[in-house]
Amino acid sequence: MCDNSCLNNNKPTDKCKYFERKALKLSQIAEALGVKAAKKAKEARVLGMEAKNCMRCAYEKFAKAQALFNEGNEILSKCQCLSKKAAIFNYKAVKCYANCPVSCFENCRQLRCNASLLNKKCYFLRCEGTKVLAKAAEVQNEAICYQTKAIEYMEAEKTAWKEYADLVNESQCCYEKAAYFSNKAMNCYAYVKGSSSNPCGGCNGCENVPTPYSNVEFNETFEENFESSDYVSSVFENINNTGCTK
């Protein structure tokens, strides 16, 4: 019969429990990092949608501005055409007054009247065209604002996806470390309880755990950190505190 009376004080399994608790805490941190990564991915997708919406608005505004510029320039072109015609009527009126007898002055006045009407039409067209061009410039500025905002959203999305990737890598690393320490715990318990080479185990079993578990130091500081209720929350303030970086 094996004498396992010394196992009652649990000291041979202290290191095994330490590995077990370490694996559990690392798993909890990995899970918390995974949750944070999921939130970051959602944030990145929202930023991406905002960027697309702003860029779509920018394209629409640019197209509208271009249409208004074309309309304004067309109106001013009509005004220029009318102004040329008015100048011709004025020229004819001057020649008429200079060369015609008084009896045909009515024709001369009609020529001048035509020129005046054309100039008035040109004036109103010039005002209308100027207003349209001003509106076009305003819409263009709105388009530029949307475009600038879209670029800001795209940069923010890029940063968010980078942070997401870092969190996923950190979470995966923690899971790998958790699995590593969980395996160490199982091997430690198995050795303490007994094996083919040491069927009775023994109080000093953990002191002689074969490679890669030999020469393991019991890290009290690490254990205290994990037992602290603020430890997991501190992970999010400084990822490097997890000790999971490969």
pLDDT band of 242, cuts 50, 70, 90:
very low
Calculate mean pLDDT across residues 70-93.
92
Amino acid residing at 190 = A
Residue type, 220: E
Instruction: Assess if residue 54 is contained within a domain.
Output: yes
Is 222 a domain residue? yes
Residues in the chain: 246
- Total Cβ atoms within 10 A of residue 6: 13
- Identify the residue whose tokens are 């271009």: 66
pLDDT surpasses 50 at 148: yes
CB 143 within 8 A of CB 30: no
205, two tokens: 């079993």
Does some domain include residue 9? no
Number of structural domains (the chain) is: 1
Sign of the CA dihedral 71, 79, 121, 110?
negative
The three-point CA angle 64-67-73 to 5° equals 140
Please check whether residue 213 lies inside any domain of the structure. yes
Q: Which domain holds residue 88?
A: 15-242
Alpha carbon 121 to its chain centroid, in Å, reads 53
pLDDT for res 12:
58
Q: What is the mean pLDDT of residues 202-222?
A: 41
Mean pLDDT of the chain: 79
Asked if residue 4 belongs to a domain, the reply is: no
Least confident of 98-107, 126-135, 181-190: 98-107
Q: Which residue, among 140, 136, 134, 126, has the nearest Cα to 75 in the 3D structure?
A: 126
Percent of the chain with pLDDT over 70: 72
In a domain, 46, yes or no: yes
For residue 142, give the CATH number of its domain. 1.10.287
59: exposed, middle or buried (Cβ count in 10 Å: 0-12, 13-18, 19+): middle
Q: Is residue 3 assigned to a domain?
A: no
Contact between 139 and 61 (Cβ < 8 Å):
yes
More reliable by pLDDT, 89 or 13: 89
Which pLDDT score is estimated for 109? Answer: 86
Separate counts of helices (H) and strands (E) for the chain = 4, 0
Contacts of 238 (CB under 8 A, 6+ apart): none
Residue 168 lies inside a defined structural domain of this protein: yes
* pLDDT exceeds 60 at position 194: no
- Residue 32, helix vs strand vs coil: helix
pLDDT tens-digit profile of 88-124?
988 988 888 888 777 778 888 888 898 999 999 999 9
Q: What average pLDDT does the segment 153-178 reach? A: 95
* pLDDT value of position 50: 96
Would you give the distance in Å from CA 36 to the centre of its chain? 15
* Averaged pLDDT, 194-218: 43
What H or E segment, with its residue span, contains residue 202?
none
Using CA atoms of 120, 123, 124, 128 in order, give the dihedral in degrees to the nearest 10.
170
- Please give the pLDDT value at position 96: 86
Other CB atoms within 10 A of residue 123 CB? 13
